[in-house]
Amino acid sequence: MQGQVELSDGYLWRAVRSLEEQAELHRRLGSVKRQGREQSTAMRRHAEEIERRSHVLRRILVERGDTSVNSQVPRKRRAVHSAQRRKSANTLE
């Protein structure tokens, strides 16, 4: 049973990271100058909503007492590592 809990926590932490990366992407897309004001505003609002979801999920995991490595790594650093993994995976193909 404990192994299943740890496995599901791992999946939940991956979901947190994915949401944070999505929020960052939408924030960047919202700052693109070629877009109209409405589209840019919509992207930023969507980024804020995604970020709220990641905070809720993160808070649940932390309150449950999950002390995994994922919970201790700052979000910005995880995003950089994730981008580096994707880049190295692309170069291997």
pLDDT tens-digit profile of 45-88?
A: 999 999 999 999 999 989 888 656 454 444 554 555 555 555 54
pLDDT at residue 3, rounded to an integer: 65
pLDDT at residue 22, rounded to an integer: 96
Least confident of 1-5, 17-21, 45-49, 56-60: 1-5
> What does the alpha-carbon distance between residue 18 and residue 78 come to, in Å, rounded to a whole number?
10
pLDDT at residue 32, rounded to an integer: 84
pLDDT at residue 75, rounded to an integer: 53
